[in-house]
Every structure is written in C-alpha cells, then in structure tokens.
Amino acid sequence: MIRVTIACPEALVADANELARVLGYSAADGETYGAARWRDAGGNRYAVASGLVSEGFAAAAQSALAEPEWGADMAAAARAQMLITIGGPADPARLVAVFGEDAEAAYGLLGVVSDTG
C-alpha cells in the first residue's frame, strides 16, 4: 500500500467523487471528497483526501475506466480523470495527487492549509 494525498478543487468535488467510486472498493468511496476545507495562497478552496491505496492505483487512475458493480456516473468520472496531475502545487482547475507516506509533507507540496487549523 502507498499513501496518496489529493487536492480536489471545490468545483470538481462531484466529478471527483464519481471517479473515486470507479477506482475505489465500494459505493462508499463516492464520499471521498467532502467539504472544501482547505485553501491555497490564492484563496482557492479544495477538498483534500489522503489515504492508503494499492500499488497499482496510479496506473488504474490513468487507464480506461470500467463501471463498478455498484454503479457510477461514468461521464463525470471520465471528466475528473482527464484533470489528474501527479505532483506540484494544488491547482484550481485540476485534481493534483502527491504520493508519499507523510501526509503533512504532501499538504506542504500542494501548498494548502486547513481552515480548521
């Protein structure tokens, strides 16, 4: 297992949750991105998720999508998939993923801070 931390712009939460349903282990993965409680230096808001995923997650996220048995909005999932970027600071127009065991370091690489402190 590896840790991935993903910054999802507030406007992309619905589509990103559909992609999470497709790539995840159950329908509950459709709730991966909640409220946008993180922000970057420009004031852009993000929902940030950090968790352990399989070693094949990055390849699966970039491969052809297959609808899971619990269903998903495949058009929304495909829209989100086209906006994935690996590494770099958070971007209000893209889903930015950082791989690494230290979630705190990932937040720093993404350049986001939590509204809750």
The two tokens of residue 88 are 């770099």
- Find all residues with CB under 8 Å of 101, minimum gap 6, and list them: 2, 3
Cα distance between residue 84 and residue 10, in whole Å: 15
Question: Closest Cα partner for 6 from 96, 90, 107?
Answer: 96
Confidence of residue 117 (pLDDT cuts 50, 70, 90): low
What is the arithmetic mean of pLDDT over 67-72?
Answer: 97
What is the arithmetic mean of pLDDT over 86-101?
Answer: 96
**pTM above threshold 0.85:** yes
Q: Which residues pair with 49 in a beta bridge?
A: 6
Percent share of the chain, pLDDT over 90: 93
pLDDT of residue 20: 97
